[in-house]
Chains A and B, each alone.
Chain A
Amino acid sequence: MNINNHWFPHLDKIVPVLRSSDEKVSLYTIALEGWRRGLVLRFHRVIKNGKVDFKFTLSSDKSQHTFDVSMGDKVSEEAVKICANKELTKRTLFNAGIPIPKGKCFKINDSFDEIVNYANKLGYPVVLKPTTGSGGKGVVSDIKSEHMLKNALSSFKKGSKDIILEKFYSGKEVRVYVIGNKIVGAINRVPAHVIGDGKKSIYQLIQDKNRDRKRIPHLYNRPIIIDDEVTFLLKSRGYTLDSILKEGEKIFIRSVSNVSLGGDPIDVTDDLSDSIKDLAIKATKSIPGLVQCGVDIIIDNSKNTGVILELNTKPGIGSHLFPLVGIPRDVPSAIIDYYFPETAGVKTIGLQFYYNFKEVIKVLYDGQATEYEVVPAPNGFKVAKRLCFNNVIIDKKNKSFIKKVADEKGFHGFINTISTSSFEIILACTDYKNVRVFLDKVMKELSISNDDIRETIWEKPINMGFIIKSNEDDITTYELEKDIENKYKTLQLMIKQNHYTERRIRNIKSSSIFKPLTLLSYAITKFKK
């Protein structure tokens, strides 16, 4: 299992890490795809269950569609209603002849015994879940005995909600993304686990894993949290946090696979058999007006059959875009293709731009505005250059001068300080001639020559407008002094080394044996020729 380092280049390092969840990643990337294809993008502020939420509208000359996270307006209200209720979903699927887990729904006031009796009849293992709710909340799976079931039921906050009891299937749980009767991606979520290397303790391995998760936008804020469940599970298997795992030894530290609880998303799209693919599409079709959804399937060990657990109208797509292992799948592109088929040919090739999502969030979240139309994506930009300036020191004033010139020329990009005496400018422009004019101006202002500049092609996505990236404040004399001091030190060291080697050379040369030797080696080389 190789952990991914690179996902889609057009999404490289641009998905903002927000307090958010998968939802914001989905919202951002789908809107971005549409915007990059030249659609008009508007964000709306809506209040949902007393909380601020966002929707967005994409529109072309011909059509307009509103999206709620990953769900567009072609999904019918009926479909949303059915999918929100697990019991209703099951009934609809069953009527359409789709395999579902055997089970039954129980009302709040149904007695304990009735449920237990049913379970005994059904046979263990079973699973308990609330009829509504998402994200695996409140689900108790793999209940192996009557005793376990009773425990689970009492902890189920008796009387709070209707519950479903069904047979537990021990297969591989896969989330398949279907849109327009096509399968775009499939993710298997593996419960949080670590794999030993013979050296590190479980605690260290979890920390390593969390570091990997930090690189993935929708997992950034979802590390594996070491809680009672984790320690309990470890204890039950005879481990503690300090135990060191053997090389290759895999140990699960949670029983549920939810990504939000530390599960790993792994792409398995290419592993799906045709019959499973058909099943996913058939299940989606069986709900009227469900044009896109995430289908949860448990695939049995033969890989050819499975049961449908759930249909999600608004699944997060972060796991498809940024799987921890496997090939990333471009779900946003498929969604936009479906809603705006006329833009399907407009592939966002060449220079990729991205809009400032944090600004959108800031303005809408704080509630000063309710709608926000993003400036259209620039087009006609072919070249992006990275200009690296060495041995040049610039201050705030220089930077704002550079920004002014870049703004005048209509460049997009940024200026970034690398060290005290070097910085880089990234520029996107329509015409290379403009870069030359820009450079001449900058070189004149900073009185530097061509030799100090190294020019390369920049292929990563670029922000809108020209910004000054400030990862550090402007250099102070103190820092410079230190810098020079350090440089002097290394210089002294090198001079010393040089002296030393020179002395050794002298020693060699002056040794009594050297002269005859040189003569000898001279003779040998001559002789060889």
Chain B
Amino acid sequence: MDNQNVSWLPHLKGAVPTAGYGNRLSTYLIALEAWRRGIGVTFFALDNIQNKLLIRYSLKNNNSEHIFDSSNGDLTSEEANFISENKDVTKEYLSTAKVPVPEGKRFAPTTENVEIINYAATLGYPVVIKPRSEKTGKGVFANISNERSFKEILLHVRNELNYKDVIVEKHIKGEEYRILMIKGEILGAVNRVPANIIGDGVSSVEELITQKNDSKKKNPNLSKNLIDIDKEVLKLIEDEGYELNSILDKGKRLFLRNKSNISMGGDPIDVTEKLTPEIKEIAIKAFNAIPNLAFCGLDMIISPSGNTGTVIEINTKPALGPHVFPVDGYARDVISPIVDYYFPETRNVERSTLYFDFNQVISPLKKRLAKEVIVRPISAGKLYAKEFIISGEVKNSKYKNWIKRQVLQNGCHGFIKDSKGDKIILVVAGNSQNDIDNLKTNFHQNPDNTIVNEVIENEYSGNIKVGFQIKSLPKTKIINRLEEKLNSEIRKKKNYEQKLKDEKKEKEKAKIKLLEYKSLLVEVRNQNKKIIEEKNIIQSKYHSLRRSRSWRYTKPIRSVLKFIDIKR
């Protein structure tokens, strides 16, 4: 179970700009899919009193337009959103439709704690306590096994976390699945496992954690949820009888946390194929129980037998990342069905191989400079793409810029990057074979008579950013190479790390020095000021003395005296 085994969906390879990493992933994935089908995409900032940054986007095809907030589109009604936001209301609707839900009760903000504690006792431990309306599992405490810890947690939730309105329900044992659904159809299911590492018989625990984090950084869904080595992690390692520098046996899995939250380094695992017909039926029943629901993520606890399940939550704005970029299992294209549902007329449209630079489009909105940005529209359909390796005296910006102009004038897209020796790599994509053939004939005939020795032509199937880029030294490549080197020479890496630690110490020292200097500087300045004042006083004294009439008049006498003095 290593995430390198899961291959990305080919049409998303290299097509997720860094702005799409993290919590804007769902937004980007849906917008990209729609845009590639020729649907117009507009990002905009929603006005609000608190002056918060709320980014929404609109998808527009011919006469139909839909507004999305992340993965939540406008075909899910306000009512459905309200129902799913309030967990007790969700449960009411579900139990009316005979969908199994955990037994429990909601307590209004005015309820006394005693009453809640009594209810937990009658329900029987273990229990779960959670806020009535809060997303992403915030403030949820599961598997509370006795009254003492229940009391403690209740006070914590109601007073410190300030969730006065709470729900107490029976804790149900089993695996928790997140099932993604669109109108009566199951798109995929993931299960989350707590942060873990798997031994390779060579690397130490610490090295494995670093490796795990490195691979997480490359995953758009997990890049921001790294494993920090903290107290909990250290304790769990210790409990299993290991230390940070012990070598883990090959294939041995070591869990580093108790909770499976993605935000705490947990891994999403695709389990779509594990869903039994019974579970699917429950899920569909639950979906249909909520009126005017278009799309949701359903949280279900699956019984150990796998035949029954209890629905605990319905989320109308679920993250797509875990399904598209799982750590194990298969990557599922859960995005296309959403766009299919909203724009059925584009169902059979072949998507373009272009992608847009989300970083650039979203940046003015994030900086609060733009209110609305319309992404440059493209026509749908696969592009004809070719890779040309051009050698000659071509590694200069004049030639590259000339190529760029040619490409843009032909309505093509692509990029140029430097290669080994005197070669450059040009990738071009156009709507027809013709466009590219036209270009090809031009490589040799440039206005500046740049010498082109050889042009090698290859097929190209990757994704291409819209427009044309002249790529200067690819930094990522250099970093990747460095990383490879580091991986193969782990021992050396250890030394580096030691050095790094030393450096940190040095830095600390330097920092202290800096502080010393800071105070010193202020001191010197004050001293400076004092001395300037002193100087001024003395000087004015001196000047008044010199200027005094008596001193001036006696000058001849003094010179005579001085003369005599010297003579003597």
Q: CB within 8 Å of B: which residues of A?
A: 42, 45, 50, 355-356, 359-360, 362-363, 366-376, 391, 393, 410, 421, 464-465, 477, 480-481, 483-484, 487-488, 490-491, 494-495, 497-498, 501-502, 504-505, 508, 511-513, 517-518, 520-521, 524
Contact = CB atoms under 8 A, between A and B. Distances in A.
B524 A487 contact: yes
A391 B524 CA distance: 11
Contacts of A498: 531, 534-535, 538
B367 A465 contact: yes
A193 to B, nearest CB: 34
Given A366-B357, A367-B376, A369-B373, A391 B525 contact: yes
A50 B409 contact: yes
Contact of A517 (B369, B375, B514, B551): B551
A359 B363 contact: yes
Given A375-B369, A464-B369, A494-B535, A511 B361 contact: no
Which A-B residue pairs are the 8 nearest by beta carbons?
A371-B374, A373-B372, A367-B467, A517-B550, A521-B550, A373-B371, A368-B360, A370-B376
Contacts of B51: 410
B370 A372 contact: yes
Nearest to B534: A498
B98 interface: no
A487 B466 CA distance: 55
Contacts of B542: 501, 504-505
Given A366-B467, A488-B524, 4 more contacts: A370-B376, A391-B521, A464-B368, A487-B525
A372 to B, nearest CB: 5
B548 interface: yes
Given A363-B361, A421-B521, A488-B524, A511 B372 contact: no
A369 B525 contact: no
B513 interface: yes
Contacts of B548: 521
B370 A366 contact: no
B394 to A, nearest CB: 23
B360 A370 contact: no
Given A368-B375, A370-B375, A372-B364, A501 B538 contact: yes
Nearest to B520: A484
A513 B558 contact: yes
Contacts of A512: 561
Contacts of B496: none
B532 A494 contact: yes
Q: Which among B42, B356, B538, B557 has the highest number of chain A CB atoms within 10 Å?
A: B538
11 contacts: A356-B367, A360-B370, A363-B363, A369-B375, A371-B372, A374-B369, A487-B525, A491-B531, A505-B545, A512-B561, A521-B548
Contacts of A371: 42, 372-374
Interface in B528-555: 528, 531-532, 534-535, 538-539, 541-542, 545-546, 548-551, 554
B184 interface: no
Interface string B292-303: 000000000000
A480 B360 contact: no
B436 to A, nearest CB: 18
Interface residues of B, number: 55
B397 to A, nearest CB: 15
B438 to A, nearest CB: 14
B402 interface: no
B306 interface: no
A359 B528 contact: no
Interface of B: 42, 44-45, 51, 356-357, 360-361, 363-364, 367-377, 408-409, 466-467, 510, 513-514, 517-518, 520-522, 524-525, 527-528, 531-532, 534-535, 538-539, 541-542, 545-546, 548-551, 554, 557-558, 561
A465 B368 contact: yes
A253 B532 CA distance: 53
Contacts of A508: 545-546, 551
Contacts of B514: 477, 480
Contact of A372 (B372, B510, B527): B372
Contacts of B538: 498, 501-502, 505
A508 B542 CA distance: 9
B466 A494 contact: no
Given A45-B376, A504-B542, A490 B528 contact: yes
B376 A369 contact: yes
A491 B524 contact: yes
B194 to A, nearest CB: 33
Contacts of A391: 521-522, 525
Contacts of B376: 45, 367-370
A495 B357 CA distance: 62
A386 B485 CA distance: 51
A480 B535 CA distance: 26
A376 B45 CA distance: 12
A367 B535 contact: no
A508 B552 CA distance: 12
Given A373-B372, A480-B517, A513-B558, A521 B549 contact: yes
A490 B529 CA distance: 12
A445 to B, nearest CB: 15
A2 to B, nearest CB: 38
B545 to A, nearest CB: 6
Contacts of B356: 368
B371 A487 contact: no
Nearest to A511: B558
B371 A374 contact: yes
A505 B541 contact: yes
A111 B548 CA distance: 95
Contacts of B370: 359-360, 363, 372-375
Contacts of B561: 512-513
Nearest to B374: A371
A359 B534 CA distance: 53
B527 A491 contact: yes
Contact of B371 (A356, A375, A481): A375
B520 A373 contact: no
Contact of B521 (A368, A372, A484, A495): A484
Contacts of A488: 524
Q: Which among B364, B368, B527, B561 has the highest number of chain A CB atoms within 10 Å?
A: B364
Contacts of A480: 514, 517-518, 521
B34 to A, nearest CB: 15
Q: Which among A42, A360, A366, A490 has the highest number of chain B CB atoms within 10 Å?
A: A366
Nearest to A412: B368
Given A477-B517, A501-B538, A355 B554 contact: no
Contacts of A393: 518, 521
